[in-house]
Amino acid sequence: MNWCPSCKTVLANEQVEGGACERCGTMVEQRFLEQWFFNISKYAPRLLENLNTLDWSATTKQAQRNWIGRSDGARLRFPVLDPLADAGSSAVSVTTEVRTGGTNIEVFTTRPDTIFGATYLVLAPEHPLVDALTTPMQDGVVREYRARASKQDLVSRKTSKEKTGEFTGSYAVNPATGEMIPIWIADYVLMEYGTGAIMAVPGHDERDFEFATKFELPIVRVVAGEGQTAKTPLGDEAYVGDGVLVNSEQFDGLSVDDAKVKVTAWLTSRHAGEAVTNYRLHDWCISRQRYWGPPIPIVYCDSCGTVPVPESQLPVLLPNIPDFKPDDSGVSPLARHEEWYHTPCPRCGKQARRETDVSDTFLDSAWYFLRYPSVGRDDIAFDAATTKKWLPVTTYIGGNEHAVLHLLYSRFITMVLHDAGLLGFEEPFTKFRAHGLIIREGAKMSKSKGNVVNPDEYIDKWGADSFRTYLMFLGPFEEGGDFRDSGISGVKRFLDRLWIAVRDRDESAAPDAEVMRKLHATIKKVGEDVPALSYNTAIAAMMEYMNVLRKGERTPARGEVEPLVQLVAPFAPHIAEELWTMLGHATSVFDSRWPTFDASLLASDEIELVVQVGGKTRGKVLVPKDVTQDAALAAAKADPAIGKFIIGEPKKVILVPGRLLNVVV
C-alpha cells in the first residue's frame, strides 16, 4: 500500500503523483496493510471504450487513456523443469522427454512474436513461486536479494535503472524452442503489473538486453529490420524496430504484426498460452485511516467472518470523540474508541468488531452530482424522476488535475449504479472542458513558488467585476494564460466606459445605422463565442463595439447601449445589474432575454474586395457585394495602385465572393 507518513493514511494509486502524496507532497512509503478496494479494474475496458463517445477535452481523455493503459498481447506458460532432475545442467535441447514439476510460470508479453528469442525468465522478487523455485545452492543469495528489494521503497526501485537480480537455480522450458532457460528474479519486473513475471527477449527489449549483458545471458536475434538478416549482429543495443522474423523456424519471414497473431495462435493450440489484453489500471483503494469520513460499513465477527452492515442499519455514524488525530500505526483513530469499535454481529448477534477505516473523500465527490438535484429528499440518495430530468451533466468545466481522480472515479461509480439499475445513463458528464492554468512569473501558481495571487487584494483595488472579466480576457480559457497586474487596467477602463455610456445615454436620439450594424455583429459574435468558451474574444468584440459606440466621445442612444449591458452581464454581473436598474428596469438583467441579432443588418451593399496579384495582396476595391468576376477584375485594373501589377492577359482569375480577387499573371 501507498502510505503517506504526513497524512498518516494509505492512498490510492491515483493519489500518488511521481511518488509523492497528491495532497501534501510528502514522499509516500510502502506498507503491507489489509484494505478495502473497489474493483474499478474490471471496468477498465468500458472506461476506455466510452472515451470515444465523450465530448471531452483531448488532454483529459488522453490522460485517462494513459492511466488505464491498455496493452494487447498474450499470456504464455513456461513449464518449470523438475529442479531435482535437471538442476545444474547446461542449456541443452530437451524437446523430447521434458520432465516438468507440473508448475508453469505465466508471463504477459506484448511481443509473443519474439518468443524464439526468449532466453530466460524473470520473476518479480515478490512472486509467490520464488520460494519453490529457488534451489538450495541459490537460497542464500535469493533470500538476501528479496530482503533488500522489500526494504527499498517502490519509488527509488522504479526510478533507479541499474539492473540487479539473482539466478534462482531453476529452469523452465521455452514452449517454442523446447530449450531450457534459466529463471531469474530481478526488481525490474514488477509484481503489480501483468503476472509479475516476464519472458526476457534481450535481442529485442532494451531492459532485457541490459540485464542479459550484465549477467552474460544469451542474446538471440529473432527480428531482422531493413537490410538485416538472421546473422546480423545486434551490436550494443536491442533491436526494437519493425521487421520480419528470423531464427523462428516456421515463422521465419513473417512480419512482426503477422507473427504476433500467428505465434499466439500456434501457442494457443499447444495450450501454452492465449491472447489477452492487460490494463495498468489498478483497483481503487478506498480505505483511509482517518476520523473524518463515512465509516466503511463492515463488521468482523469471529463466527461469521466479514459481514456487511445491513441496509437498515446504515449509515454507520461517526462516534463523537475528542482524539480524532491519525497516528503512525496504520490503524484508524476510530479503533481507539472501544464503545464504537465493539458491536454485535449483524448476522449472529455475538460480540464483533467494526471496520475502523473510513472511505476516501474521492468516493464522496464521485457521486455528488447525483445528490445535488435531490438534496430536498432525506429519505433517498437521489430521486429517479429528478435525476432523469437533470442528469447526466450537460457541460462540466474543471481542472485537468482531476483527470485520473475525480473524473475517472465518477465515471466508474456512475457505471456501477447504471449496471445496478439505479441510473439510466452510464456516463456522468457528457461534455467536459478543462480550463487552462494561470501562469504568473513564468510558472503555474503555487504556494511553493510564491507566485500566487490573493484575489481579495485585486477585488479591493479593481472590483470583483474587473477581476473576473480580466481572468476571462487574459487568454484562451482552455489554455490558461499569463496573469499580469498591468493587464487589468484595460478591462477596468472598458467597464468604466460602459458605465459612462449608460449614464450619459441620450434617451431621445435615434440609433445610428452604422453603430447598430456593429452592435448586431457584436451580439452575433458574443453569442457564438460564449458557448465555445472563447471568452477572451467575446470580451474583445465588446471592447471593439465600445470603441465604435464612444468614438470621439459621442453620446450613445439608448438602443445602442442597452443590449451591451445584457451582453456584459455574464462577465461582469454586478455592474450589469446596476446599469440595468439605471436603465429603468424593475427586474433583473438575468431575467431579460439574451439579445437577438438581425442578420439582414449585418450585410452592407458595398464591400471592400481584397485584390491579390499572383497571390500577393496589392490593395482593395469597393464593389457591390454580388459583383461578377469580370466586373471585379475591371475594377481592379482601373485602380492605378493595383492595375500596375496586372501586366498582360491574366492567366487565371479567382474570385472568392465577398472576400477576395486573385489575378494570376
Partner RNA sequence: GCCCGGGUGGCGGAAUGGUAGACGCAGGGGACUUAAAAUCCCCUUUCCGCAAGGAAGUGUGGGUUCGAGUCCCGCCCCGGGCACCA
Residues 521-580 that bind RNA (CB under 7 A): 534, 536-537, 539-540, 543-544, 546-547, 550-553
C-alpha neighbours within 13 Å on the C-beta side of residue 491: 28
Nearer to RNA, 347 or 497 (CB): 497
Contact flag: residue 352 with RNA (CB under 7 A): no
217 binds RNA (CB under 7 A): no
Residue 189 binds to RNA (criterion: CB under 7 A): yes
Q: Is residue 146 at the binding interface for RNA, with CB under 7 A as the rule?
A: no
Least distance to RNA, CB of residue 598, Å: 22
Pairing of strands 284-285, 273-279: unpaired
In a 13 Å sphere around the CA of 138, the CA atoms on its Cβ side amount to 23
Size of the site for RNA (CB under 7 A): 92
Residue keyed to cell 531453476? 170
Stretch that binds RNA, among 289-297, 334-342, 345-353, 617-625 (CB under 7 A): 617-625
Of 301, 618, 635, 636, the one binding RNA by CB under 7 A: 618
Amino acid identity of residue 390, one-letter, is W
Q: Contact between 139 and RNA (CB under 7 A)?
A: no
Q: 535-549 and 488-503 are packed helices; what angle lies between their axes, rounded to 10 degrees? A: 50
Should residue 496 be labelled a site residue for RNA when binding is judged by CB under 7 A? Answer: yes
| Number of Cα atoms under 13 Å in the Cβ half of residue 298 | 13
Binding mask 439-458 toward RNA (x if CB under 7 A, else -) reads x----x--------------
192 binds RNA (CB under 7 A): yes
Question: Distance (Å, rounded) from C-alpha 360 to C-alpha 12?
Answer: 9
| Element of type H or E holding 388 | helix 384-390
Q: What is the DSSP letter of 237?
A: S
Q: How far is the CB of 198 from RNA (least distance, A)?
A: 4
Binding test (CB under 7 A) with RNA, winner from 45, 218, 614, 643? 614
> Binding string to RNA for residues 401 to 430, with x set by CB under 7 A, is what?
--xx--------------------------
Q: Between 426 and 544, name the residue whose CB sits nearer to RNA.
A: 544
Among positions 474, 561, 567, 568, the unique one binding RNA when judged by CB under 7 A: 474
* CA-wise closest residue to 145 among 126, 160, 165, 122: 165
- DSSP state letter for 170: E
Q: Using the minimum distance from each CB to RNA, give the nearer residue, 326 or 650.
A: 650
Interface with RNA includes 181 (CB under 7 A)?
A: no
With vertex at residue 110, the alpha carbon angle to CA 107 and CA 115, rounded to the nearest 5 degrees, is: 65
Closest CA to 198 of 261, 307, 71, 107: 107
Q: CB nearer to RNA: give 371 or 644.
A: 644
State which residue, 491 or 569, has the beta carbon closest to RNA.
491
Q: Pick out residues in 623-662 that bind RNA (CB under 7 A).
A: 641, 652, 654, 656, 659-660, 662
SS (H, E, C) 267-306: HHHCCCEEEEEEECCCCEECEECCCCCCECCEEEECCCEE
**Taking Cα atoms as reference points, which of 588, 563, 562, 561 lies closest to residue 577?**
588
CB of 114 to RNA, least distance (A): 9
Q: Which of 52, 53, 58, 394 binds RNA (CB under 7 A)?
A: 58
Q: Which is nearer to RNA, 218 or 487 (CB)?
A: 487
* Closest residue by Cα to residue 536 from 590, 575, 578, 482: 482
- Our CB check for RNA shows the closer of 235 and 376 to be 235
Residue 435 within binding range of RNA, rule CB under 7 A: no
C-alpha cell at 628: 461578377
Residues 93-132 that bind RNA (CB under 7 A): 107-111, 124
Q: In whole angstroms, give the CA distance from residue 198 to residue 118.
A: 9
What CA–CA distances, in Å, run from 486 to 175, 467, 474, 534? Answer: 70, 12, 11, 22
